[in-house]
Amino acid sequence: MIIYPIKGWWISMDIWIAISGLVVGMIIGTTGMGGGIIMTPLLLFGFGVSPAVVVGTDLIFASVTKSFGAWQHWRQRTIDFNLILRVAIGSIPGTLTGLLLLLFIKQGNQTDLNLFITKSISVAFILISIVMLLKLAVRKKSIYDGSKQVNTGILISIGFLTGLLVAITSVGSGTLFIALLLWLYPYKSSTLVGTDILHGVLITGVAGLAHSFLGTIDYVLLLQLLIGSIPGVLIGSRITVKVPDLYIRILLITMMLVSSFILLFR
């Protein structure tokens, strides 16, 4: 624990929180995942943060961190802007729907909100695990090269489901989006990761802003996480174009399964 003075008041700096941010930032930059799938259980179980604050803080954390990663991927030309546009048609309404649901539940009491978020996180992990396991069971396809038309209706549906889960749980902006697209349209992973990161900036930013009005953001915790995650995501984004496509996919699946088991059996 390190203490820093900031404009006349003091903030306790937990070095392990910053290190956690660094590791998760590197994972986000490399795989597009980590903002929720790793950080959510880490904050819940590792640092004992309440579920509602975990979701709100994690959303702003993911949005800021992914902004730096998106900039790096834009420089590397690993972003499909046409794909982002079509997915966002569904993800923005999905995000707003999730936020309205949280606002309705919060009118009851904070205990109900925390319980609902906890159960929703469990469901999100199970859903994403099933999608990834189905991908393993399907015969490997060739890398999607953009030569055939991608079904816009499917992309909008994926966007809506992703936005809904992100608003409620902070999980899914990377995991569910990537899992479904790898299953249905196996894009080259570096392009898919870059596209997902930029899309994640959009929906986590919208959801995080709304959570700030719900009072579910710990700004001191957020600052400590960002100290580590910003350099981490820049490093990870550079790695993603140098790592073989197959290795990135294996890392995606492994992260998903490990996180699911931690949540289910803790």
pLDDT digits over 58-100, tens only?
889 888 888 888 888 888 888 888 888 989 999 999 999 999 9
pLDDT value of residue 82: 87
Amino acid 239: pLDDT: 75
pLDDT at 97: 94
- Cα(119)–Cα(176) distance, rounded to whole angstroms? 17
pLDDT over threshold 80, residue 1: no
The predicted pLDDT at position 264 comes to 61
pLDDT of residue 96: 92
pLDDT for residue 7: 44
Q: What is the pTM of this model?
A: 0.75
| Per-residue confidence (pLDDT) for residue 6, from 0 to 100 | 44
pLDDT score, position 2: 43
Predicted pLDDT at 9: 41
Q: Looking at residues 124-151, what average pLDDT do you find? A: 64
* pLDDT of 195 above 60: yes
Per-residue pLDDT tens digits for 235-252: 887 776 666 656 666 666
Q: Is the pLDDT of residue 123 over 80?
A: no
The phi-psi region of residue 146 (left if phi > 0; otherwise alpha if psi is between -120 and 50; otherwise beta) is left
> Using an 8 Å Cβ cutoff, are 173 and 59 in contact?
no
Model pLDDT, residue 248: 62
Mean pLDDT within 24-52: 78
Over range 41-57, report the average pLDDT.
84
Query: 214-224: per-residue pLDDT in tens?
Result: 888 999 899 99
Q: What's the rounded mean pLDDT across residues 22-27?
A: 85
Distance CA 226, CA 130 (A): 31
**Higher-confidence position of 174 and 210:** 210
The answer to whether the CB of 99 falls within 8 A of the CB of 207 is yes
pLDDT of residue 89: 94
- Contact indicator for 85, 152 with CB cutoff of 8 Å: no
Q: What confidence score (pLDDT) does residue 233 get?
A: 84
